Structure 1
């Protein structure tokens, strides 16, 4: 009902009108249109009653139409998301905020990138491989390598079969039995078409 009232009495308040290059604003907005305005005190009262911070409402909003607005005529939701993040961060006690933020220094980055533990693991792996090749019998090593190669080959064959196989056709299937290709046709009334077809 409120939107209908906007469309009938003050369409220039709606986004599809106000973001036009030539917005048809009346010369004076002093008419009795107070019920069409966003009353900041009412909004602040409602938000404050729900436990939300109302500090952002005291900052005046200055609309600026940019070239991007003229080209796309779409407003980004980034502003909405940043306002929600600000509201959420204003409601969180300051102690939690301090504990969640950590100062990033050169030492902290150095500790994060430190690879001494990784080098130790690599050395241990190399030592185990060398030890295995020195002590294990050749047949055991060959069997293990062959099983890994077979597993890799089977997996690669599965992937290639999935990627190379043609998509199913609604008009029939082509089956190959004992080297001979047989085409089984499907009547039109039994064909399975997708829900959305482009003609």
Structure 2
């Protein structure tokens, strides 16, 4: 059963419903041990980076997340959860992230309406099983004011364009992150969750 981490900052039930529609059982949990034991883990998130890291720290979730990733279990970060996977964010100052991926979280350029909210097309930069059934130009639903800037371009699976080409999906091996909300992105979003579920069941 896929664990959806409850640390007080996410549309947890919508993610769970999305997994259900994609055919995969999940549990919303605030128990670090349940996260450790899960075959796959999703880190959602809506809100401020510093608050989210503080909540992960006080809830005892940072070490279980690191252990899950080190153990080779499938892991997916969504929206703020994706940003938390990087080393640091400039949101509200300079705050340390989980450091799963190298790179920074940066504010969208001046002059753009923020948050960037609505449907936006993806440009696929590299083939990946996480993108099975997703064609170049497919649209997904975004809500964000910051974007990830990976230090390793090889992590970038797909980009989107909003005043600049920014990383919309990053990943390596079993670990992935999406800046958009697959659970709010209709059938194609469900396909993303299905692809993640397939990787969990394959492990």
TM-score, with structure 1 as normaliser: 0.17
Higher relative contact order (CA 8 A, sep 6+): 2
TM-score, with structure 2 as normaliser: 0.17
The structure where strand makes up a greater share of residues is 2
